[in-house]
Amino acid sequence: MANDRPLAAHEILDALENVSDNEEDYRERLICILPPPVDPDCLTDEDSGEEDSVTLNNLPRNILLQPAEVMIQGQIMVSDTEEEPSDSTGRTKRRRTYAWRKRDLAKNPVNWPDVQGACQDKRPIEWFENFLDEDVISLLVSESNKYAVKKNLPGDITTEDMKCFIGILLVRINPKQSAKRFSQSEKRNIVIEEPHMVSIYNKYMGGVDRSDENISHYRIGIREKMPKEGLADPPIMNMLIVVKTK
């Protein structure tokens, strides 16, 4: 029957020799042997002669019988163990074999719980108002009006104006404008929808005709030397106009 007891120094040495013979393990091992009890009639390592002549092969019997510990890479690997019968054989290592199959990964179905509650009836705008409530809107309106008054501007921003401004920042949608243009096919002026970006460009940059005139005037196609012909003509032309007008 196996019982728990610390290994002695000679048992650890025997175990290490067996491991070294069976496996290729080059890790450093440190053996810590507890000192034997002090006995004046017993020969210890202090009065056994020169220290250089003491090796593992000629240690005294009382030291070999002392409990010991072996440390591998700084970790205590053997402290207490169970005695095994003398006829026990070493375990053989088994190599795992993997059978690979060529197929798609199976997607595990996810079952979401059916949560019932009052929150399901809320609209997206109601969820948004939980984070940006009336108190926050009022604070933004108050501080914006104070800042406008400091800049000698009318502080007449309302709550609805602030909500509209925040909505434009989030959605980034500018309303379309209408413009009158002469139709050659109908021989009359018609009203067409004009995107906000087009109206801003026509207002400050002089329209498409002015853009073509500036591109030919500054000879952008020679300056840019890009593989995509005409792709960066308007931005480079605008940059040159800004630089020359400063």
3-state secondary structure of 31: strand
> How many angstroms separate the CA atoms of 184 and 25, rounded?
93
Mean of pLDDT over the chain: 70
**Mean pLDDT, range 210-230, rounded to an integer:** 60
pLDDT, tens digit (0-9, with 9 covering 90-100), for 137-166: 999 999 999 999 998 888 889 999 998 888
**Mean pLDDT, range 170-187, rounded to an integer:** 76
Model confidence, pTM:
0.28
Residue 164 confidence (pLDDT): 84
**Mean pLDDT, range 17-22, rounded to an integer:** 59
What contacts 147, CB < 8 A, 6 or more positions away?
none
> How many angstroms separate the CA atoms of 62 and 35, rounded?
9
**Mean pLDDT, range 107-123, rounded to an integer:** 75
For the purposes of burial, counting CB atoms within 10 Å of the CB of 202, is it exposed (0-12), middle (13-18) or buried (19 or more)?
Answer: middle
Residue 143 confidence (pLDDT): 93
Domain positions in the chain are 4-82, 124-171, 177-245
- Strands (E) across 64-165 are located at 68-72, 75-78, 80-82
